[in-house]
Amino acid sequence: MRILLVEDDVILGNATSIYLRNSGYVVDWAKDGKLADSALHEVDYDAVVLDLGLPQMDGLEVLKRLRTRKQTTSVIILTARDSLEDRIAGLDLGADDYLIKPIKLAELAARLRAQLRRQHAVLAPTIEYPPLTLHTKDRLVTYQNQPFALSPREFSLLETLLVRVGRVVSKESLLGSISDWDDSLGSNAIEVYMHRLRKKLLLVGIEIRTVRGLGYLLDKQN
Ligand code: CA
């Protein structure tokens, strides 16, 4: 799951991005509104955590542009305690939730999970794809109730394929689900990680199909 964090406060932004990365998300951090706006043009994020008071372009304007483009990405806004008007304006402009600063990171993570569940209807606490079970909160896969060893990136790839089961997922989306701006993963990195994931899944009889020129696919099970 790839999150855009928009926050100009360096200390808060740093703490938040570290916390979210440790929770298993891929996080891009934009420190001003303009950068956020252009990132939202380019990448299809699973959710946005949006501060309102920002340099270059304020958060409400970023949100307004996002919704004008009919993008339905989940947005959680961060507002100051005394700005009831901002909160109302944010919700009116199509924010899905808000948190009042100072925020508690554990609460932000919980609100994000709730938004992502709504966004991806299949993102239940667990996803069954027999014989495997993927536990979205603990970032763990089990096989016959025992942990099934996957690296964090292999886990993210499997999760991305599972929330889109039955649909072809492009290499670009898969790359987006495992790397942020700071990573320099080339697109052939996907082939390397997919090769490893495939080998592991074959051991339990699950096959990831390659759809030439389009991407990868996990078939629906009956
Ligand atoms: Ca701010």
- pLDDT tens profile 100-149: 999 999 999 999 988 988 777 656 778 899 999 999 878 899 999 999 99
Whole-number pLDDT of residue 158: 95
Question: What is the gyration radius of the CA atoms in the chain, in angstroms?
Answer: 18
Whole-number pLDDT of residue 93: 93
Distance in Å, CA 54 to ligand 1 centroid: 5
Distance in Å, CA 6 to ligand 1 centroid: 9
Distance in Å, CA 146 to ligand 1 centroid: 44
Distance in Å, CA 204 to ligand 1 centroid: 48
Distance in Å, CA 162 to ligand 1 centroid: 36
Whole-number pLDDT of residue 62: 97
Three-state DSSP string of 84-141: HHHHHHHHHCCCCEEEECCCCHHHHHHHHHHHHHHHCCCCCCEEEECCEEEECCCCEE
Long-range (24+ apart) CB contacts under 8 A made by 139-144 are 139/23, 139/24, 143/204
Whole-number pLDDT of residue 183: 73
Apex 25 CA angle, 24 and 31, nearest 5: 135
CB 184, CB 194: distance < 8 Å: no
Distance in Å, CA 7 to ligand 1 centroid: 6
CA 109 remoteness from chain centre:
12
Whole-number pLDDT of residue 121: 62
CA–CA distance, 179 with 182 (Å, rounded to integer): 8
Distance in Å, CA 203 to ligand 1 centroid: 49
Distance in Å, CA 59 to ligand 1 centroid: 9
Whole-number pLDDT of residue 78: 93
How far are the Cα atoms of 90, 149, 168, 187 from residue 218, in angstroms, in the given order?
38, 19, 8, 20
End-to-end, the C-alpha distance of the chain in Å comes to 26
Distance in Å, CA 62 to ligand 1 centroid: 13
Whole-number pLDDT of residue 35: 97
Distance in Å, CA 219 to ligand 1 centroid: 44
The angle, 0 to 180 degrees and rounded to 10, between the axes of the packed helices 152-163 and 171-178 is 130
CA–CA distance, 153 with 4 (Å, rounded to integer): 18
Distance in Å, CA 72 to ligand 1 centroid: 23
Distance in Å, CA 213 to ligand 1 centroid: 43
Whole-number pLDDT of residue 32: 97
CA–CA distance, 60 with 219 (Å, rounded to integer): 40
Q: Which domains, and CATH codes, for the chain?
A: 2-119 (3.40.50.2300), 126-217 (1.10.10.10)
Regions in the chain scoring below 50 on pLDDT: none
Distance in Å, CA 177 to ligand 1 centroid: 27
